[in-house]
Amino acid sequence: QTCRQSPRIMSGGPKETVSPIKLALLVIAWYAGNTFYNVYNKKATNLIHAHWTVASVQLIVGIVWTLLMWGSGMRKRPNLTAEDIAAIIPIGLFACLAHCGSVLASAVGAVSFAQIVKACEPVFAAVVGLLIPPMDVKPTLAYIMLIPIVGGVGLACIKEGKGVDLNVTAFLFASMANASAALKGKLGSSVTKELKADKDKNMDATNVYAVTNIISFICTVPFVVINELPTLPETWAKAVSEHGASEIMLNVFLSGLCFYFYNEFAFSFTAHVGAVTSSVLNTAKRVIIIVVSSIVFSEALSQNTIIGSSFAIGGTLAYSIASKMPKKTEAKAEAKTENKDKKE
């Protein structure tokens, strides 16, 4: 996923107490939704070769659900100014590119390969953190953990007796998703924290994602128009003649539904537990997707692929923990200082 928009990015603010059962249910729903999304997305893009369009329509499904929630009063409507919306547009744009990159990577290559490459997201995040102010310097251990990530992905691309066997197009689309997710996180974290801090704006975790999803869809339209609109009628007619309209629409709809809900569950979970726990579980999620997709779509996993992906995913896990540790230590130090001041 995965368009994997990264759920840990938009967390912030105080964490409310929540029962372990609710957290467990959120994780189960997140994992199930993400796994089914990848399955239905691959089926949809196999049925019709209009992949930008599929990515765009998937976002529409979530928008319909959002409007129903807001219209019925079951969820508070956001109170945003034009300035607020303008601040969210860059987040929506990079969310769009992250989503579309993920969809296209899985469409033109194996789902398992796309997930392995997407495990490189911390590498892109680390580079973006250093290049775009304010500079975000991670501890040395975190940067060391980037080595097994890159090495693991490289090993996964080497086939026994064949040398490097790389689906360049899938690799580039997955890398586009990684770069976009990193930029979204860097540019959007402060904006979303400010919006969520102002209770009058009604921008909790679910509404932050809902608004971002709407802007993300709008950003997909030019890509669809440029890349696929001229040939879309012909592509649709060909796909319908081969597979039937109902089969295509069902898989696109289900992939869109799963995409929206798994992201919403992931955002809600992160809002309760924080970035470190969410990062760890987001990493573990890739293992499930790789295994399930290899079974459903008969994607052969060579020894190098298994070993390489294990190194990459393990490195991602270690990076996630190492990069957040200083902040945790600083928070504890601040808490001790506050307690000391209170005693005095």
Please, which residues have CB within 8 angstroms of residue 68's CB and are 6 or more apart in sequence? none
Nearest to 58 by CA among 209, 216, 256: 256
pTM score: 0.84
The CA-atom distances, in angstroms, between 34 and each of 167, 237, 265 are 23, 30, 10
In this prediction, residues 249-270 reach a mean pLDDT of 92
| Percent over 70 (pLDDT), the chain | 86
Query: What average pLDDT score do residues 111-137 get?
Result: 87
3-state secondary structure of 164: strand
Domain boundaries in the chain? 7-136+166-273
Q: Copy the structure tokens of residue 75.
A: 């969820």
CB-based contacts of 70, cutoff 8 Å, min separation 6: 76, 77
Reply yes or no on whether the pLDDT at 271 is more than 50: yes
pLDDT greater at residue 113 or residue 250: 250
Range of weakest confidence among 165-179, 187-201, 272-286, 291-305: 272-286
Cβ contacts of residue 111 below 8 Å, gap of 6+? 38, 42, 289, 290, 293, 297, 299
Question: d(Cα 46, Cα 29) in Å, to the nearest integer?
Answer: 25
pLDDT at 272 (0 to 100): 78
User: Given a cut of 60, is residue 7 above it in pLDDT?
Assistant: no
| The residue count for the chain | 344
Token pair recorded at residue 104:
């296209």
* pLDDT tens, residue by residue, 18-66: 788 888 898 999 999 999 999 999 999 999 999 999 999 999 999 999 9
**Where does the pLDDT of residue 238 fall: very low under 50, low under 70, confident under 90, or very high at 90 and above?**
very high
What separation in angstroms does the CA of 276 have from each of 145, 233, 328, 339?
Answer: 15, 46, 9, 24
CB distance 5 to 183 below 8 Å: no
| Amino acid residing at 11 | S
Query: Are the C-beta atoms of residues 1 and 223 closer than 8 Å to each other?
Result: no
